[in-house]
Copies of this chain bind each other. A is one copy, B any other.
Amino acid sequence: MAETKATIYTVARAVGVSAQTVSRVLNGTGQVSEKTRAAVLAAIEAQGYRPNAVGRSLRASRTPMVGVLVADIGNPFYARLHRAIERRLSGSGYSLMLMNCDDDARIERRQLELLRSYRPTGLVIVPSVGSSLSAADLPAFGHVVSVSRVLEGLPVPAVVTDERESVGAAAKELISYGHTEIALIAGPQKASTTRAREEGFRAALARHTGLRGIVRHTDGTRAGAEAAAAELLSTRPGPTATGPSATSPSATSPAATGHTTTGPTAMIGFNALVTEGIVSAIMAAGLRCPEDVSVIGFTDAGWMTLHRPPISVIDQPVEEMGALAGRLLLDLAAGESVAPGPRVVPSTLVRRGSVASPAAHGVTPSAQVAAPAAKEEGS
């Protein structure tokens, strides 16, 4: 009951043993007679003693804590990632310290310094663009694993998805529907994910002639994506006759850039927030999806099956990625050797209803456009 300040010593004194014996009972190390053990347990209970992790960490020169640093916890992708890592690490005795950096290398640095001061066991990081993490830094964070993005040039295990292939598959899908002008609304130019997805996108388009690929870099937010998409759509003919506040569909506006183009008829969204921005921009322009503009998102979100049409996406295996990152960290902490470099967890193209042939423009009246049934999802 003496809540005054129970320590390993107060417990030891009460039982008439040494502090090390209490420590042994606490940690299950060494040999302790059953009788002593029971007495110690009773005293712990009586005093309401709780071990102090700080004393323990100081002695061990290591804190059983793993930092999780992401670009934006407001993005559901990162929230799910955190949850998956937490789930994998729960029960292992590690505390998770979640940190946000707004994709800003300076904030990332500040957060890393804070983490480092605890002498953590490990760090799972989605490096910010232009990440400040250097090879010299690495030991300070114990074991380091990167997720989603890679740390170019650093000897760190990484968990990623097949960016090139899956964005390539999305582009291929759109091409197969007859789209000739396709836009990728991408993330920050310097992010490894952006570069990889852009490569996959361009490679897929390069397999054919007469195609035009447009890439717009954004900050990855809904607002940023909406602005980029709106600008691209401004070269499109006005709203279709059936839309609200319709303008003459025959009056093709001249391309702002001087290209002989009527603007993209299909868009790929970099993440769920960007996809929101694209859908919003399409609506704001008075255009319809998929009749006027086809959309494929990257990373699934709950609203996408609710939307009409349901949004087709490249479903990124967030949970698996987080779980694998957690496991790699656990392996490293257990002293196992883990080779640096990327582990690829494949994404899946989920066809729903947001892709149609551009020829369907003004043809399909209102309801669902049939998609080649391959993986139908949701209700």
Task: A222 to B76: give the CA distance in the assembly, Å.
Answer: 15
Q: Which B residues are CB-close (under 8 A) to A125?
A: none
**Which residue of B76, B98, B139 is within 8 Å of A76 (Cβ)?**
B76
What 0/1 pattern do residues 44 to 67 of A give for CB contact below 8 A with B?
A: 000000111111011000010000
Of B83, B100, B136, B280, the contact of A83 (CB 8 Å cutoff): B100
Closest CB-CB distance, A96 to chain B, in whole Å?
7
Closest approach, in angstroms, between the C-beta of A233 and any C-beta of chain B? 13
CB distance from A4 to the nearest CB of B (A): 11
- Contact flag A116-B83 (CB < 8 Å), given A95-B97, A279-B306, A303-B303: no
Q: Are A97 and B100 in contact (CB under 8 A)?
A: no
A42 within 8 A of B: no
Partner of A307, one of B50, B136, B301, B306: B306
Number of copies of this protein chain within its complex: 2
| Cβ < 8 Å to B, chain A residues 353-379 | 367, 379
Chain A 90-123 interface 0/1 with B at a Cβ cutoff of 8 Å (1 = within): 0000011111100000000000011111110000
**B contact residues around A116 at 8 Å (CB):** 50
Q: Is the C-beta of A163 less than 8 angstroms from some C-beta in chain B?
A: no
Which of B82, B86, B280 sits near A305, CB closer than 8 Å?
Answer: B280
Please determine whether B63 and A74 come into contact, CB atoms closer than 8 angstroms. no
Partner of A303 from the list B58, B136, B283, B307 (CB cut-off 8 Å) is: B307
The residues of B that contact A280 with a CB separation of less than 8 Å are 305-306, 379
Q: Verify if A339 is at the interface (C-beta below 8 Å from B).
A: no
Check if B63 sits within 8 Å of A73, measured CB to CB.
no
Q: Is the CB of A306 within 8 A of B50?
A: no
Query: Is A190's CB within 8 Å of the partner chain B?
Result: no
Most buried by B among A54, A55, A58, A115: A54
Separation in Å of the A80 CB from the closest CB of chain B? 6
Q: Are A379's CB and B284's CB within 8 A?
A: yes
State the CA gap A302–B275 with chains docked (Å): 11
A24 CB-CB contact with B under 8 Å = no
Q: Which residue of B lies closest to A279 (CB)?
A: B306
Asked if A325 lies at the interface with its beta carbon under 8 angstroms from chain B, I say no
A291-317 CB contacts (< 8 Å) to partner B: 301-303, 305-308
Residue in B54, B302, B305 whose beta carbon sits within 8 Å of that of A58 in the complex:
B54
Cβ contact within 8 Å between B76 and A82: no
Please name all residues of chain B whose beta carbon is closer than 8 Å to the beta carbon of A82 when the two chains form the complex: 73, 98
Asked whether, in the complex, the Cβ of A140 is within 8 Å of the Cβ of B50, the reply is yes
Residues of B with C-beta under 8 A to A222: 302
Whether A32 is near chain B, meaning CB under 8 Å from some CB there, is no
Asked if A160 is at the interface of the complex by the 8 Å CB criterion, the answer is: no
Q: How far, in whole Å, are A308 and B309 apart by their CA atoms in the complex?
A: 10
Q: Does A276 contact B (CB under 8 A)?
A: yes
What 1/0 flags go to A182-196 for Cβ under 8 Å of B? 000000000000000
List the interface of chain A (C-beta within 8 A of B).
3, 50-55, 57-58, 63, 73-74, 76, 79-80, 82-83, 86, 95-100, 113-119, 136, 139-140, 222, 244, 273, 276, 279-280, 283-284, 301-303, 305-308, 367, 379
A to B CB contacts below 8 Å, 9 in the list: A53-B117, A53-B118, A54-B57, A73-B82, A83-B100, A96-B97, A280-B305, A280-B306, A308-B308
**Apart from A279-B306, A303-B307, what are 16 other A-B pairs with CB-CB below 8 Å?**
A3-B136, A53-B118, A54-B117, A58-B58, A73-B82, A73-B83, A74-B80, A76-B76, A82-B98, A96-B98, A96-B99, A280-B305, A303-B303, A303-B306, A306-B307, A307-B307
Closest 3 CB pairs of A and B: A303-B303, A53-B117, A98-B98
